[in-house]
Chain A
Amino acid sequence: SQQGEEDPQALSIQEGENATMNCSYKTSINNLQWYRQNSGRGLVHLILIRSNEREKHSGRLRVTLDTSKKSSSLLITASRAADTASYFCATDAGNTGNQFYFGTGTSLTVIP
């Protein structure tokens, strides 16, 4: 399966600290996306990075992509209590099909 694996599964930090979560996948991709899910809610898109990009920023978010290692990282700087949520990476199947895979998720808790 192409399903991504997030690391760590759970992360607890103090407000103001940075949070880093990682995603690994198995086959070539066209793009990788990060989503956030608050408890009991739907997913919200955070950022999309294409396979020919190495780094992307959006506000307090920084995403890197290393296609040679088939991995990506999401950095949230100056975390806030409102950042408490689960974070998922998602990848397409590249040229091998029409599937779309979500990772297992990282549960982030930001302590005020």
Chain B
Amino acid sequence: DAGVIQSPRHEVTEMGQEVTLRCKPISGHNSLFWYRQTMMRGLELLIYFNNNVPIDDSGMPEDRFSAKMPNASFSTLKIQPSEPRDSAVYFCASSWSGWYNEQFFGPGTRLTVL
């Protein structure tokens, strides 16, 4: 298996633009997580899907952020409009059965909003 795949690996955009981050989880995993990592706030869980259904989105910072999982092999995290404070590394992770088992992380997307 190729592991969790994220694209793009790097994204540079201007304030106000829409940004879409993509994730392909490991085949057979039924849980998917989006995280954000910054120096100031560390690693934060943004949203958690189980069987393609959002279970907890309390970590999504505001309405500018949205996430979807249309099927078991694909998820997107969208920021619209983007702001400089959204600059961070965004990680996607997948697991079998939530956090009762280990999570496998993708390589991350480094987002820079100018």
Asked if A92 contacts B99 (CB within 8 A), the reply is yes
Q: How many interface residues does B have (CB within 8 Å)? A: 25
Could you say which residues of chain A place their CB within 8 Å of the CB of B58?
Answer: 97, 99
- Complex interface: stretch among A18-26, A38-46, A61-69, A76-84: A38-46
In the bound assembly, the distance between CA atoms of A19 and B4 in angstroms comes to 30
Q: Which 6 A-B pairs have the closest CB atoms?
A: A42-B105, A98-B56, A45-B102, A102-B43, A43-B105, A92-B99
Asked if A42 contacts B42 (CB within 8 A), the reply is no
Task: Please report B residues at the A interface, Cβ cutoff 8 Å.
Answer: 4, 33, 35, 42-45, 48, 55-56, 58-59, 91, 93, 98-108
Apart from A41-B108, A100-B99: 5 A-B pairs, beta carbons within 8 A: A33-B102, A97-B58, A99-B45, A99-B56, A102-B44
